[in-house]
Amino acid sequence: MSAKTRFACTECGYISVRWLGRCTDCGGWNTLVEETINSKVAFADKNKSLTACPISNISIEHQSRFTTGIHELDGALGGGVVPGSLVLLGGDPGIGKSTLLLQMASELSRSGRKVLYVSGEESVQQIKMRSIRLNVEENLLFLLAETDIDQIEANIRETSPELVIIDSIQVVIKAEISASPGGVGQVRECASQMMRLAKMNGPAIFLVGHITKEGALAGPKVLEHMVDTVLYFEGERNNSFRILRSVKNRFGSTNEIGIFQMEGDGLKEVANPSEMFLSNRHSGDVPGSVVVSTIEGNRPLLVEVQALVCTSSFGSPRRMTAGVDYNRVSLILAVLEKRVGLHIGGQDAYVNAVGGVRLDEPAADLGIALALASSFKEVSVVGGLVAFGEIGLTGEIRPVPNLEKRINEAARLGFSRCIIPKSLSNYDPGNNMKVIRMNTLQEAIGAALV
Ligand code: TYD
Ligand code: MG
């Protein structure tokens, strides 16, 4: 009997019985590759049916989490590593995934846990060199350079570590499957083999996954629903600031984030990010600079927004943004023009969130608008000011969540006034913080630029 084959999209995992030039699901061109259907593997779990039983009868052996020794990573995982869990760590190449996991491995082995680091991309010598730089020299840390998943499994069974790192899942292969390495077929099969191993009272397994240009986990979108936890490591390459974000977690909340800084000797945890973002601010107040209070995960973060507005030398004005949404800035410029009456629409405008952080929240609108107005009028905002609020198309300032957290963070860092949306909450932190509640952008500009 001839082997059955099918075609799988390497981007989204779509399965087709025929080859197609364009994936009908994700629209990618030339992304379908042929793979053999291994019916034995695909249906292996089907016969293992158990009878249903009441939830109250199910006992859980007490499985306590263990700490990774890196506080920010524990937080993103929801309070440490759950034994037998499968975690996917995604991120752009060069962002620091291997560095983070090697540091974690080092901390774990230092606390007496056996860790196996499997690398399919670097030789053990290369990892050793990196580990010297990171100051890792532990006897309980085992290295293996291997890409064959069956060999990897054999090694895991032999060394029986408490935690395994596979760097990366895209390079491991299962020899019996004809699909090319990194293709959906391979990745899915290798990941499910690791999942079966982890769930059989095995080690916790961390898989590294690369991200495509479009920002999705390369190939294995399919992986995201297979694993217990999905973490993304983000940041700009020319900036040392990194955020570890949890986008799925079966064992905790996805609001948790971890904040790191990449330094010469590895990743350092940032316990006080607002302080870090504001550390290089101008001491004298300059036009075009406003501090906003934003929420990342469930943590407040103060970030400086800078704007530069100047006369356009071309017919159509230039707009450029870094760290803030381009369309959002266009909208705010239109509101400033139409509702506030500033003739800003024909000017060049540049907006930048300082420090490589992304301000995706609408709550940053007010800060952006004040920075633009401040630069346009060449007047700096009043000293000690923090602003936040969403701007509507009629020029109104709309309420945003987490009011208290934002105000408290500003108060903690020594700011003395907050311009915020008028809302039902009349929270007042007292002390030296003056909370100014505003209905419209026009009023807010009046209060901020004096
Ligand atoms: P790496 O962990 O190899 O990234 P990934 O596994 O996500 O591809 O980290 C790559 C970058 O980090 C590399 O360009 C250099 C930088 N780096 C440092 O700045 N300091 C360090 O101590 C290390 C190990 C790396
Ligand atoms: Mg790497």
Q: What's the pLDDT band for 40 if we cut at 50, 70, 90?
A: low
Instruction: Please list, in sequence order, all residues whose beta carbon lies within 8 angstroms of the beta carbon of residue 113, skipping any fewer than 6 positions away.
Output: 66, 140, 161, 162, 163
- pLDDT given for residue 271 in this prediction: 84
266 Cβ closer than 6 Å to some ligand 1 atom: yes
Angle at 68 between CA 65 and CA 71, to 5 degrees: 105
- pLDDT given for residue 357 in this prediction: 85
Highest mean pLDDT among 38-52, 145-159, 420-434: 145-159
Q: 410 near 433, Cβ under 8 Å? A: yes
The closest-lying atom of ligand 1 relative to the alpha carbon of residue 99 is 2
Query: Ligand 1: distance of its center to the CA of 94 in Å?
Result: 6
pLDDT tens for each residue of 5-29: 888 887 777 888 888 899 888 888 8
Query: Ligand 2: distance of its center to the CA of 202 in Å?
Result: 24
What count of other Cβ atoms lies within 10 Å of the Cβ of residue 403?
21
As a whole-number percent, the residues of the chain with pLDDT over 90 amount to 54
pLDDT tens for each residue of 90-119: 988 889 999 999 999 999 999 999 999 999
Question: Does pLDDT of 218 surpass 70?
Answer: no
Q: What's the pLDDT band for 283 if we cut at 50, 70, 90?
A: low
Least confident span in 30-44, 185-199, 223-237, 434-448: 30-44
Question: Does pLDDT of 219 surpass 70?
Answer: no
Query: Ligand 1: distance of its center to the CA of 277 in Å?
Result: 22
pLDDT tens for each residue of 373-398: 999 999 999 989 999 999 999 999 99
- pLDDT given for residue 51 in this prediction: 81
- pLDDT given for residue 429 in this prediction: 79
**What DSSP designation does 390 have?**
E
Model-level pTM? 0.80
- pLDDT given for residue 61 in this prediction: 63
